[in-house]
Each structure stands twice: as structure tokens, then as C-alpha cells.
Structure 1
Amino acid sequence: MRWFRAGAALATSVVAVVSLGARADAASVPYSDAKVNGYLGLCDASGHAVHAGSLDDRPFVGTAVSSTAAPADYAGDGRTATLFAFQPRPGVAPGEWSGDALGASTRYTNPAHPIGKLVAADAPLREFVDSYPPRWNGLLQLRLYLGTPDQPPYTQTYAATDIRVSGARWEVVRGGDVACDVGQATSIAELLPSADPSKSVAQAIQEQQATSTTLPGLTTGQLAAPTTKADTARPAPSRTRHGVPWALLAVPAVLGAAFIARRRRRTPFLHSRHR
């Protein structure tokens, strides 16, 4: 009985130490974001959980899997998810942080766990860090934004994970694991008729444009993102390293109603004035 109690006490101590270590990392994140709902489990291209890596890894991660389900209105056919990175800044609200998509939008099979997928053609994390260097304790926030046909991206809430950049490496400091095999995911980059793994997403789409005025099942007019008053105050979109220059909010047929976030060198998807 004494041995059992001692063993139980030791096990409890070990669990406590591990838990305290996890909380210590999370406690080192000095900001909170009221829109965060769940976390992102990061996986490599082989389907294994990953918690750290090199800024030069390509892709940065294979998939980012949400711990929370897509809202009902964004869980139907044509649903998509896109992985973004944001640059936390002291004194600036999370909704105003600079950010950019790390890859194209992704079709996924399990609405209980939306998935954003990156491919080898997507830029490494270093390119985001070079453009938006961490300003707050080396931290970056990863978010998963959801899409569905004929609706704007869902940004009211999102799953998020925080990573810290140190030197040439990154590591998760606030997040968690989600089974990497909870669903299948396909990046829109993999659906392009002329897709070539050796070329960037932007190059593949530009070549497709050169050979045809439309993509399969898509009229030219559908390439443009809906114009809002906020958009009229922003500079025109331009091609960037990370992806493509349009927001494809409703792409039917072969492209699977996916959206690609608008890519801008100086004005990415959201709030680029804080650099």
C-alpha cells in the first residue's frame, strides 16, 4: 500500500511538473485575444505532430488542424480554411495586427476539424518574418480563417496558436495537439490544372491566365473580390511572394469553391499599417 501511494504521488508530481511547464509557456504570452476559439494542432507533411522547426522549412508546416468545429453556415459543401500569421504588437488590438496568408485556401473533409494545408510551393516562414519581424517577445500568432461560397471569410472567431521565433527557429508556446488524421485536406494550389510542384502558387495561376481568360467553371468576373468601402481606401492588390493577388471567395467546380486571400506586399489581408 505504501508503495502504491508513493507511486501515485510520484505520478501526480510528474503530471504536475509537465502541466506547470505547459502553463509556463502559455503564461509567457503577454497578450489575449477575445476572438480566439480553440487552438491549432500543427502537423508535418507526413502527418506527425510538430511543435518546433526551422524558419526555412518548406512548407513551414504540412497542416494546421483546428480543435474546434466550423460554424454551421461555414460547414457545408465548398467549405475552405486558410492559415494566416499575424504580428502581435504592444498597445495594438489583435484585430489591428499586421498579417498575411501563409498559403492558398484549403478544401477539407471534416467540418468538425477545419484544416489549412501548405505545400512545397508556399514560402517558408522566414519570408513572413522578414516582412513582419516579431515585435513582442518574438511572438507570432497563427490563425485559421474559414470560407464558404458566396460569403465573406469568417473572422468573428478563429482557432489560433502562438509561436515564438528565436534565431532561425520557431516553437509553439501556446496551443495544443489535434490528431493529424482527423480529415483530408487539399490546397487549391494542388487543384490548378497547370500546377507544377516546382513553381510557386502565383506562377501557376499566372501561367493559367496566360493560356485562358478563365479557370474551369469560373468566369473572369468571379476573379475579383467584392468591393467594400474599406477596399476603396487601400492600394490596389499586387503579386507577393506568398501567394496570389485575388480573394477567390466563391470558386465552383474544379476549384471547389475555395477562396485565396488577397495578397499584398504592403497591404496583406488585414491591417498592414502597423509594421
Structure 2
Amino acid sequence: MCRIIVILQNQANQKYIIDYFLTQSHEKKNTPGSNNNRDFDYHKDGYGFIFYNDNISFYKSSLMYKDDTNFEFIKNKIIKSNILIGHIRATKYHFKDDVCYNNTHPFWYKNQFWSHNGSVNPFNSNFYNTYIDNKYKSHIKGKTDSEVLFYIYMTIFDKLNDEEKSWIEFIQLLDMFYSKYQITISANIVFSNEKVIIISRYINNNEEPPSLYIDTNTRIISSEPVTDTFELINRNTTIIYNVKDTTIRYI
């Protein structure tokens, strides 16, 4: 599936880390401690970055980064970013969606952003639309399960107006989809805004979710290790990062 990186503090070697992350587009997977068919080799179906400086900005393209004429311009911006979230995409094996801008991550609504590595199987968008508020339905531009999950979360967030409480209810809903309907959902997700970044390694059955690692020294979280010191994040773990006070909590 896809590949994600979250850099929670600017690194002295940030250019190298970004380059190393992007090589996962065209290299076989490296997932120490996790041999999982949910992790794919090669991720050539688009890429995107969210970068925090004075404001939150983002860029995405359905092209592989090496084929995107804007990449060097964007790279010069993200190298300087205080917080960086990256995503490189591989379409999923159980359905074929279009490789296009609207299916590329991140997805966003106003100042809320969403990147996903995982899948929903089976995926019937009409079924999930019943869990999405009408005000969001016109904002769904692509054909991915990832975008649908985003607007399910946003619908819950509108009700609770609290990112963490909304996340807990969202996960409970995904659990119900499996227990009641046998819908398998793997959801390594990064939700971000100006206040909080939520990062999960999750699956709603007893299997293993896609790989996700953390380096607590550098505060880098990534689908594949990009530093020498890392540990595999336990399944069904959520990390909450407070943007203002820079604290990290696990739930």
C-alpha cells in the first residue's frame, strides 16, 4: 500500500531524509519486524506533502516525484519545514481507481488534512455515504476509500468539536464495521491541523496493519525506517502530537 512519513521537528539532514523516503517509490519494501502483504513494493501513483512553517501549506501530484517538473521547487520548501507530513501512493490490489489528482493524498477540508495508508474491503461508497454529513458530500472529488474515511471523521468532529474524542468515536465506528458487517479496514492515518497531529497504526480485525515505525530520538514516524534507530509501533496504537507544546501522547 502507500507510504507515510511524519517529521515532527526539523532535521539537520532533512534533505537526505526526504530523498530516502521518496526512494520508496521505486524500491522494494524494507519493513524490519513486519512481513505483511499489506505493505507493497513500489509506490508510483502520486505523492503529496503537508508542511508547517508560519502557516500550513500542502502540495500533491498524481505523478511520481521524479516526473513532476515542480518537485525541485517544492523540495526547497519542505526541506525548511518545521513539521512535515509526506505520502507516496500505490493503488490497492482489490480495486482499481484512477491515478489522478483527486485520488492523491492529502485530502483536505479548510484547515484539516488527511493522509491514509490502508484499505477498506469491501468498499461500497454508497454504504459509507450514510455516515457522511450532506455538507461534505459535494467535497468528495475522488474515488478512494481514504477520502470517504476522512469525511466520516469530519462528520463526527462536527458533532463533538474535539479532535481526540472524535478520533476515539471514529475508531469505535470502524470496529463496528467489522463486527457487524465483516468489513476489514486497515487505517494507518495522519490527521493534522494547526492544533494537533493524530497518527495511527490500526486494523479492525485480528490481523496486522501496514508497517509503521517511530524514532523517538528524531521524532520521525514512517512506514519504513529512514534512520538507524527505530521501533515498530504496536498494532492499534494512536499517537497524539500537540503542535503548540510539542508533547507526544499514546492512546
Same fold per TM (> 0.5)?
A: no
Larger Rg: 1
Normalised by the size of structure 1, how large is the TM-score?
A: 0.29
Normalised by the size of structure 2, how large is the TM-score?
A: 0.31
